[in-house]
Amino acid sequence: MSEVSTSIRKDISLYCSSCGASFPPDMRLLACTVCGEPLLVKYGEISSNPHMEIPVYSCNALVSLGEGNTPVIKMDKLGSRLPCENIFAKLEFMNPTGSFKDRGTAMMISVAKGFNIANLVEDSSGNAGSSVAAYCGKAGITAHIFVPSSAPQPKLDQISVYGAIAHKIEGTREMVTDAASDFVDEKGYVYGAHKLSPYFLEGTKAFAYEIARHNLGEMPEHIIMPVGNGSLYIGAWLGFKELIFKGVISKMPKMHVVQASAVKPLVNLFSGNHEEEPIGITVAGGISVSNPPRSKLIGEILLETGGHATAVDDEVILEWQKILAQENGIYCEPTSSSAFAGLEYLIRDGIIAKKESVLIAVTGFGLKDNLYI
């Protein structure tokens, strides 16, 4: 691997959000060498124009498949079911590979291309895998995707369709990560893990910029999303912070986290429940993450923005998947419909009031995970 780059911005560095240590922008560095926390990107200079800061010099250096600029629609058919009047959905499944992951992947692979990387390893429950497969194909990078053999068939198929090498691993989600990690050690390839890459978050920031543009600076009061590793959640928060710094918006929305009752480490962290609990099985495969590497930062964002972390039951998740498809024309994954289940719980618990505005990220296309509908 030759690390010569002309497209990467010269003023970027990586830093640890926990201890503050600073590092050069190396794609192989995925955690702070001092305290072990994952890293974030820091820009030496942030321009005062309203455009998003990106780690490459210009949009021409981006490996793009047309990701982002997803529509926001008003959910006017929840009224009888939920006593809320201002619920909006941002349809993130309308991305090139069918999930929000494309935002982060586009940026991560653009940087990988800038560093002339030839082989990239990723592990994923499916959506990130197919996304990385697609962008690596476009960038001319060989992608090695480690997936649980139990992932939905359309996601497994999609990875191969894009020409990536799929490594199907039997066992738990952790065993998939371990296998990817061993492969990286053995081959010396770059581990482009979406859950660890700081560049991935620089792509998902665009979610926040689009909301600001859509609402012309007026933020929704609440944002709700399903959170596993938090790559959209943290990216959106970074985007809002940058927008506040640039003076485009003045207020941060309350950023709520939804998890499945069977796998809820972030909810436990939020509620101060430190007892070890058994990890169960959930229909929401995209958020079935027992040990999110950036959980400390997610906890801080919850506190800072006044968000809540809520766990929802599988049967309510599946009920919402049906409601969204049959009454609202939105065919999403169970992982995505969990956010609407979360909305129901947050209203029930008095966290969200009738007149307040709510924006929900609909993260993945139902065509990719249709086991239960």
If one asks whether residue 52 binds its own copies (CB under 8 A), the answer comes out as: no
How many residues at the interface with its own copies, by CB under 8 A?
Answer: 39
If one asks whether residue 82 binds its own copies (CB under 8 A), the answer comes out as: no
- Binding string to its own copies for residues 105 to 144, with x set by CB under 8 A, is what? -----------------------------xx-xx------
C-alpha closest to that of 340 among 96, 51, 88:
88
Q: Which stretch binds its own copies (CB under 8 A): 11-19, 22-30, 48-56, 90-98?
A: 90-98
Is 30 or 143 the residue whose CB approaches its own copies more closely?
143
Report 237-256 residues binding its own copies (CB under 8 A): none
Pairing label, strands 222-226, 254-260:
parallel
If one asks whether residue 86 binds its own copies (CB under 8 A), the answer comes out as: no
- Binding string to its own copies for residues 330 to 349, with x set by CB under 8 A, is what? xx------------------
Q: Contact with its own copies (CB under 8 A): which of 29, 52, 65, 175?
A: 65
Burial of 98 per CB tally in 10 Å (0-12, 13-18, 19+): buried
- Strand ordering across the sheet containing 72-74: 72-74, 86-91, 357-362, 222-226, 254-260, 309-312
Residue 141: CB minimum distance to its own copies, A? 11
If one asks whether residue 31 binds its own copies (CB under 8 A), the answer comes out as: no
User: How far is the C-alpha of 32 from the C-alpha of 337, rounded, in Å?
Assistant: 34
| Contact residues for 63 (Cβ-Cβ < 8 A; gap 6+) | 106, 109, 110, 113, 135, 138, 139
In sequence order, what are the beta bridge partners of 360?
89, 224
If one asks whether residue 58 binds its own copies (CB under 8 A), the answer comes out as: no
Residue 156: CB minimum distance to its own copies, A? 11
If one asks whether residue 71 binds its own copies (CB under 8 A), the answer comes out as: yes
Q: Which stretch binds its own copies (CB under 8 A): 61-69, 110-118, 276-284, 306-314?
A: 61-69
Q: Contact with its own copies (CB under 8 A): which of 32, 41, 97, 104?
A: 97
Q: Angle at CA 230, nearest 5°, toward 227 and 236? A: 105
If one asks whether residue 98 binds its own copies (CB under 8 A), the answer comes out as: yes
Is 158 or 310 the residue whose CB approaches its own copies more closely?
158
E strand spans, the chain = 12-16, 22-23, 39-43, 72-74, 86-91, 119-123, 142-148, 165-169, 190-191, 222-226, 254-260, 309-312, 357-362
- Give residue 68's region: left, alpha or beta (phi > 0; psi -120 to 50): left
User: How far is the C-alpha of 282 from the C-alpha of 269, rounded, in Å?
Assistant: 19
If one asks whether residue 77 binds its own copies (CB under 8 A), the answer comes out as: yes
Q: Angle at CA 110, nearest 5°, toward 107 and 114? A: 140
Residue 163: CB minimum distance to its own copies, A? 3
User: How far is the C-alpha of 265 from the C-alpha of 336, rounded, in Å?
Assistant: 18
If one asks whether residue 96 binds its own copies (CB under 8 A), the answer comes out as: yes
Q: Site residues (CB under 8 A) for its own copies?
A: 64-67, 69-73, 77, 91, 94-98, 134-135, 137-138, 154, 157-158, 161-163, 325-331, 365-368, 370, 373
